[in-house]
Structure 1
């Protein structure tokens, strides 16, 4: 199994309240994801756009690895030379 740490510097996210979010929305320090709580319960996760893109890319990569592993297990593979020949034949 492959495990990716997609939350940056550790597994613990900084936690702040909704009130803090309202007061500081324009200048949130988003060097890592932040959990927003209301009445002590987590309700949102706020992260930078770059962090979101990195997470989405990590998820996409994991999906590709899973698909590839299934293909290998089921024998759906070919040599790169055979693949190149098939591509060349399409032109």
Structure 2
């Protein structure tokens, strides 16, 4: 192979490597954004579960039947686990 052909092949190889690195960097950026969004959604879910438990307790006290702390904890746990169980790619098999 001539020097010119080697130079062209080397340049093409470097360009291909550069493109792959750009694709990798873009994929990593998307993954970081998805992780941030997931963290925000999980925090919002936790906040809503606590608010739900508080409102259930308030409703229970208004009707004279306050739910036990165990019932409130079970409800909060259920609220936290159901989205995880229904999310593809998240859970025991991930």
TM-score range, shorter chain: 0.3 to 0.5
Bigger fraction of residues in strand? 1
What TM-score does the superposition give when structure 1 sets the normalisation length?
A: 0.37
Between structure 1 and structure 2, the one with the greater Rg is 2
What TM-score does the superposition give when structure 2 sets the normalisation length?
A: 0.36
Bigger fraction of residues in helix? 2
